[in-house]
Structure 1
Amino acid sequence: MLVTIGTIVDLVVTFNERRQKSSNSYVILVEDNETTGRTSVLSNETSSSGQIQSQRLNPPQPNRGKICQVAVAFSIVTNTRKLLSTSTSSGHLTSLNGMRVLSMFWIILGHTYLFASLGMTVENSLAAVKIIQRFSFQAIINATVSVDTFFFMSGLLVTYLYLKNRQESTDSFNWVLFYFHRYWRLTPVYAFCIMIWGSLFFHTLRGPMAVWRSTPQTQALINECSKSWWANILYINNYYPYSGDINQQCMGWSWYLANDMQFYIISPIILILLYRYRKIGFAVCGGLIGACIFIRAMTAFEFGIHVPNQAVTKHKDNYYGQHAPLYNKMYTRIAPYIVGMLLGYALHKTNCRVRMSKVTVLTGWSVAIATGLSVVYGLYDYYYHSFNASLAVSVIYLAFNRFAWSVALAWVVFACATGYGGLVNSILSWSAWAPLGRLTYCAYLIHPMILEFFFFQPYAYIVSDVNMICYYLGLLVLTYMCAYIVSMAVEAPMLGLEKILIPLMEKAINTLVRFLQSFLRRRPD
């Protein structure tokens, strides 16, 4: 209803503004002066003598009231126009657009195979095992590092934009708006998807599709949102309830949002240190990365986690060890975020202007490519021969794999931002990535629902390259179609409303600060 009303108001107001502009008799006159060749916007005005005079001026800008602005924030016309715009404000960091979209494609690809294996029955199980053992399949089975890409980009952007703001503005930084923006940016559409998953989706499955969703266990899983939705809204669902067990919490894939918000909450400590006390800031960042690596190593050792299957082999009765101890806790995933923050600091300090020799560039790209490939394809021999690595090898890999992946990404972004990206920068900075990049958040929230609805059916399927390609491409397109609907209904309107609310909040905060200062000055000693 709000989207419909906002769209109608937008069309009516835009039509009236254009009609008013055309009635003001503004004409474009080209001066015949060969030395200037300038084009001027002039208005025809009649003097007291009845003669027409020409006066140089600028066309008036439309002044819309607050109520009109709120209504237009829900307009599907305006929001679609913003969505499809290929212009971005990323500046030197345009390579992040392609990295963001391709990582989301990679996540959906990995989840396509995962949901297919969990939902449907495989008819050709022997052929499926051979496909898993292929070298090319390593990119699918190790797709979990794509999530670390988003952690890395989040840390990079929050640091780069903060330092850029401190450089351009002399005013004190408003930390209240810093947190408000993040919560407002993520929560409304997140809550909307929780409603879809925990209510509408559940009732849909009790209807015509109830034949394959009638077990008490599956109904309890979806209905869990009615009990613990508030943990998601508070972004603590990776710890509570069920110790953050992905298989039991509301919208299990939302563990990522909890981690990202927790990183964001503690980021001001690091930002202030990097801005004011550089050496201390570096020391804290290094300590956090080292602590993350150490915790991952000790956890893998304590619970006997071997790659590639990463199953717990010791202390199986331990509740913490039963629920993916290395996967969804912030202290085991913070290293890529800190690497992103350090890169953001480096790019800001150098203003993305660095001169490097060809040898340095070649060495950097070689090390980055080798590091990234070793993370994704390094376990191929164990998958091919179907045996686990030793505990020592497993501990080393699990301790460093996500940190190493983020370091490889750091070089890619650094090289692209400083002019040494070449073809890679041209691909990642392609302007067509921008619209898809704006749908990334909604696509992440909505795609598991689509995959589950499709794959959890009482049918058997045959695993083959052609079948999985058709499944994947169809589900990918459907995901972004649904993401567009969710974005237009919730995400884009909330972003439009934020632009109206923030100036009001700034005035309220400044008024409160002045009142408190005046009150403290008037207090007697």
Structure 2
Amino acid sequence: MIWFVFVFLLATVQVHGVNKYLRAQSVLYGLSSLTEKDNENSTCLQELFQLYEGVNNRHLWALKALDASGQPESGFLWGNNLWIGSHFQCSDISNKRPLEINHLKVKQPEETAYDYPPYEMAFAMAYMKHNSTQQQHAQMPLESTIQLGLCIPKSCSTNELHELLNNYLNTHFLYAQEFYNLNIEISSLKILDDDSWMFLPKTMAALCVFLVSVFLVILGTIYDVKITQPRLKAKMDCNVENNNAKVSSISIINNFKSNGVEESQDNDSKFKVKKVNKFKIVFDVLQCFSIYSNVKALTKTKITTDAISSIHGVRLFSLIWVICVHTIFYQIDFLKNVPTGFRLSEYFLVQVLSNSTYCVDSFLFLSGFLLAYTFYKSKQGIVKCKRPVNVLAKVSEFFMMFTHRYLRLTPVYLITILVADVLFSYYRQSSSLNVVEKPDIECSQHWWRNVLYINNFYPRSEMCLSWSWYLSADTQFFMVSTILLIVSTIWFKTAVSILLFLIVVCMGATGYRSYSVGYIPTMDEQFIQLDAIYDLPWNRIGPYLVGVITGYVLTIKLEGKLNLRKPYLILLWIICPLINLWIVFTLYGRQISVEFSAVYMGLSRSLWGIGLGWLIIACSTNNAGIVNKFLSFRGWIPLSRLTYCGYLIHPLLIHVIYLSAESSQSASLSSFALSIFGIGMLTLFFAFWYSLFFESPYILLTKLLFNQFKKPKEPKTTNGAL
């Protein structure tokens, strides 16, 4: 009898110990244990109590629910707040279809009545703020937010779950609370849903845009292949006819004239011509959507003789640099060890990525250069000629150039905003991960700022597509520079004075702003000072204006030629690349003063443009040797045409990949390298199709529109570096 009592007490103590451990380690078990004394109020509480008893009785479905739920993990002191569990495993608990494995060789537990849950399961995410000072912080937006996944009964509402979770945290059952002295407060709760996003108006709008685009592409391709291409082939065949055939055709025409047939044919064809012209515009629009012709245009490697071939290489590798940076930048929301990523950024060679904000300055420089280059090329020396000033014509010229650019960039931009809004609406409801980027919220409210290209004047927290600040800045710089270029054709010295004044003032404003906020470009400060230092146009216009100056110097002053003695060439090839290398690597260690940082921030972006300016001039005047051959490689040309679409969509691809994975990522050099390579390849692949469906057709439509209203001799305008 004594022995039986001893065994019973021992078993009771063991069960109690296991239950206490589970309550302290597993939040789901702790929540369900709260229903032990009160489980008659609602279906949710009753089913949670069933889960609690199921775990105590070791029922397989309950153990799977417990296993699919998140709990405190290792690495908390190193920033791991992602206790997300597994949404997929929770959804798969009720799946009775066996795995496709060899069940004769794979051992399986015997089937019981408790293998599948007695009710439907759902997955909930709880976002909770903690106040730990022991955890390594890096000033990242989500670093104090614990993301907890819970596999719960589908009958539970967010209100019921909030009350239970709040009671559980207030009782301090969770051992991490006591061990790390944590004060945890619930910020928000959501129960994941895969279906409700489909019935949103914006989803329907995106679907309509996609279907219409596909329909137009199909019709346009059929029309092109069946009608346009045979006509072009027939026209080419006619052009190769010999002179004798032309002479004979002329005699035949003369015979028709003599018989009065021409007049009758003209009278009979008037109605036909009018009828054909009425539908010609429709056929021309369809032609714009032809994949056949657009692929040929996109992959064409021949360029005009006055084009600068090295631009394509610089533009492509600038995009690759941007993709490398953004792959790591946007991955921070999914890292469970952010401080490790910051440690890796301390390596000397990694400064190319950790001090990489100048990749966008390369695009800004190219935009300014191409604008000035094409402008002065089209003027053909008109700057040096004194002609009567036609103010109305100059104003009209500005609006024509701006309208051309706006219509060129905006359609695919608007489609990207709509796609981002829909994608993030889906992942906001279905993914167990949380992100700082909020297109589903901000784009619905503030899309008009993007359409007006002014969103870079607003905080990042209110920005629709955070990376689109560049498009707004580039458009603003385009307007300022276009006005200066047009003024330069009237009052050249005035335009030059204003341009130089803008460069000096903006460098001073950037330096002063950097000094006033005590800015030192450490990794964390680069993230949190984006609003103050990074996005505002007067902090970024320097390289754009340097690009304008470079375009003028190459076109007007040098006239495409530069003959320097070899010592001077060598000196320039030493100084200018060293300027760019100094800008990238001088921050190594980040141990600099606020004063040096202010001078550096004020000068560095314009100096970066000067370094690129020498590269473009050297390549354009055959003074770059193997560098020019590499950058001018014809294989870069088709890829460089994808830079605009690639820039627009690559952050979306990054978020889609990680939000779909629904698991935390680990920072390491190998994982970063793999992510960069994968995102880069996917970006180029999707940018190709994105361009064919949404960019190339609207470029052709813009040209079609301007061919109706634009004078032939009016200057062509650049579409920007992207």
TM-score, structure 1 as length reference:
0.81
- Structure-2 residue corresponding to 1:223: 441
Q: Which moved more, 1:430-439 or 1:169-178?
A: 169-178
Q: Distance between the aligned counterparts of 1:402 and 1:23, measured in 2?
A: 55
Unaligned runs of at least 5 residues, structure 2:
1-214, 253-276, 715-722
* Structure 1 letter corresponding to 2:453: Y
Q: What SS does structure 2 have at the residue aligned with 1:471?
A: helix
Deviation at 1:218, TM superposition (A): 5.5
**Aligned residue among 97, 102, 109 for 2:324:** 109
Residue 497 of structure 2 corresponds to residue 283 of structure 1: yes
Deviation at 1:327, TM superposition (A): 0.7
- Structure-1 residue corresponding to 2:4: none
Residues 3, 221 of structure 1: alpha-carbon distance in 2 compared, 3 angstrom cutoff: closer
Contact 1:246-1:255 at 8 Å conserved across structures: no
Residue 586 of structure 2 corresponds to residue 381 of structure 1: no
Residue 574 of structure 2 corresponds to residue 366 of structure 1: yes
Q: What SS does structure 1 have at the residue aligned with 2:304?
A: coil
Q: Distance between the aligned counterparts of 1:66 and 1:393, measured in 2?
A: 60
Q: Which moved more, 1:178-187 or 1:481-490?
A: 481-490
**Aligned residue among 532, 535, 551 for 1:325:** 532
Residue 400 of structure 2 corresponds to residue 177 of structure 1: yes
* Structure 1 letter corresponding to 2:665: Y
Q: Distance between the aligned counterparts of 1:221 and 1:9, measured in 2?
A: 37
Deviation at 1:455, TM superposition (A): 2.7
Q: What SS does structure 2 have at the residue aligned with 1:354?
A: coil
Residues 191, 357 of structure 1: alpha-carbon distance in 2 compared, 3 angstrom cutoff: same
* Structure 2 letter corresponding to 1:479: T
Contact 2:334-2:433 at 8 Å conserved across structures: no
- Structure-1 residue corresponding to 2:693: 489
**Aligned residue among 437, 460, 463 for 1:249:** 463
Q: Distance between the aligned counterparts of 1:5 and 1:168, measured in 2?
A: 45
Deviation at 1:463, TM superposition (A): 3.4
Q: Distance between the aligned counterparts of 2:251 and 2:447, measured in 1?
A: 71
**Aligned residue among 336, 342, 359 for 2:543:** 336
Count of residue correspondences:
461
- Structure-2 residue corresponding to 1:307: 521
Q: Distance between the aligned counterparts of 1:100 and 1:402, measured in 2?
A: 17
Q: Distance between the aligned counterparts of 2:418 and 2:473, measured in 1?
A: 21
- Structure-1 residue corresponding to 2:602: 399
Residues 21, 369 of structure 1: alpha-carbon distance in 2 compared, 3 angstrom cutoff: closer
Deviation per residue, 1:133-164 (Å, 9 max, x gap): 21110001111101011111111111111111
Contact 1:153-1:337 at 8 Å conserved across structures: yes
Residues 65, 288 of structure 1: alpha-carbon distance in 2 compared, 3 angstrom cutoff: same
- Structure-2 residue corresponding to 1:422: 625
**Aligned residue among 310, 313, 336 for 1:98:** 313
Deviation at 1:19, TM superposition (A): 7.3
Q: Which moved more, 1:427-436 or 1:217-226?
A: 217-226
Deviation at 1:45, TM superposition (A): 4.7
Q: Distance between the aligned counterparts of 2:611 and 2:232, measured in 1?
A: 51
Q: Distance between the aligned counterparts of 2:315 and 2:236, measured in 1?
A: 43
Q: Distance between the aligned counterparts of 1:46 and 1:371, measured in 2?
A: 67
Q: Distance between the aligned counterparts of 1:27 and 1:156, measured in 2?
A: 41
**Aligned residue among 38, 50, 70 for 2:285:** 70
Residues 180, 22 of structure 1: alpha-carbon distance in 2 compared, 3 angstrom cutoff: closer
**Aligned residue among 87, 91, 94 for 2:302:** 87
Contact 1:73-1:497 at 8 Å conserved across structures: yes
Indicate the structure (1 or 2) with the bigger Cα radius of gyration.
2
* Structure 2 letter corresponding to 1:380: Y
Deviation at 1:465, TM superposition (A): 3.4
Deviation at 1:18, TM superposition (A): 6.1
Name which structure has the greater RCO, CA cutoff 8 Å, separation 6+.
1
**Aligned residue among 410, 429, 432 for 1:187:** 410
Residues 353, 259 of structure 1: alpha-carbon distance in 2 compared, 3 angstrom cutoff: same
**Identity rate, percent:** 30
Residues 219, 432 of structure 1: alpha-carbon distance in 2 compared, 3 angstrom cutoff: closer
Contact 1:98-1:433 at 8 Å conserved across structures: yes
Q: Distance between the aligned counterparts of 1:341 and 1:257, measured in 2?
A: 18
* Structure 1 letter corresponding to 2:538: Y
Residue 672 of structure 2 corresponds to residue 468 of structure 1: yes
- Structure-2 residue corresponding to 1:357: 565
Q: Distance between the aligned counterparts of 1:340 and 1:245, measured in 2?
A: 28
* Structure 2 letter corresponding to 1:163: Y
Q: Distance between the aligned counterparts of 1:460 and 1:290, measured in 2?
A: 46
- C-alpha RMSD over aligned residues: 2.9
Q: Distance between the aligned counterparts of 2:469 and 2:344, measured in 1?
A: 29
Residue 423 of structure 2 corresponds to residue 201 of structure 1: yes
Deviation at 1:47, TM superposition (A): 11
Contact 1:92-1:352 at 8 Å conserved across structures: no
Residues 149, 323 of structure 1: alpha-carbon distance in 2 compared, 3 angstrom cutoff: closer
Q: Distance between the aligned counterparts of 2:295 and 2:478, measured in 1?
A: 29
Deviation at 1:421, TM superposition (A): 0.9
Deviation at 1:202, TM superposition (A): 2.6
Contact 1:122-1:460 at 8 Å conserved across structures: no
Residues 90, 344 of structure 1: alpha-carbon distance in 2 compared, 3 angstrom cutoff: farther
Q: Distance between the aligned counterparts of 1:363 and 1:131, measured in 2?
A: 35
* Structure 1 letter corresponding to 2:431: A
Residue 446 of structure 2 corresponds to residue 232 of structure 1: no
* Structure 2 letter corresponding to 1:178: M
Deviation per residue, 1:309-348 (Å, 9 max, x gap): 4739xxxxxxxx9662111111111111110111111011
Deviation at 1:42, TM superposition (A): 4.7
* Structure 1 letter corresponding to 2:477: F
Contact 2:431-2:662 at 8 Å conserved across structures: no
TM-score, structure 2 as length reference:
0.60
Contact 1:27-1:42 at 8 Å conserved across structures: no
- Structure-2 residue corresponding to 1:132: 345
Q: Distance between the aligned counterparts of 1:46 and 1:67, measured in 2?
A: 33
Residues 405, 464 of structure 1: alpha-carbon distance in 2 compared, 3 angstrom cutoff: same
Q: What SS does structure 2 have at the residue aligned with 1:262?
A: helix
Contact 1:120-1:455 at 8 Å conserved across structures: no
Contact 2:424-2:438 at 8 Å conserved across structures: no
Q: Which moved more, 1:497-506 or 1:394-403?
A: 497-506
- Structure-2 residue corresponding to 1:504: 708
Deviation per residue, 1:271-292 (Å, 9 max, x gap): 1343333332222221111001
Q: Distance between the aligned counterparts of 2:231 and 2:370, measured in 1?
A: 37
Residues 14, 223 of structure 1: alpha-carbon distance in 2 compared, 3 angstrom cutoff: same
Q: What SS does structure 2 have at the residue aligned with 1:136?
A: coil
Deviation at 1:104, TM superposition (A): 0.2
Residues 281, 471 of structure 1: alpha-carbon distance in 2 compared, 3 angstrom cutoff: same
Deviation at 1:66, TM superposition (A): 2.6
Q: What SS does structure 1 have at the residue aligned with 2:534?
A: coil
**Aligned residue among 297, 300, 303 for 2:511:** 297
Residues 458, 412 of structure 1: alpha-carbon distance in 2 compared, 3 angstrom cutoff: same
Residues 341, 20 of structure 1: alpha-carbon distance in 2 compared, 3 angstrom cutoff: closer
Deviation at 1:44, TM superposition (A): 9.1
Residue 552 of structure 2 corresponds to residue 345 of structure 1: yes
- Structure-1 residue corresponding to 2:364: 151
- Structure-2 residue corresponding to 1:515: none
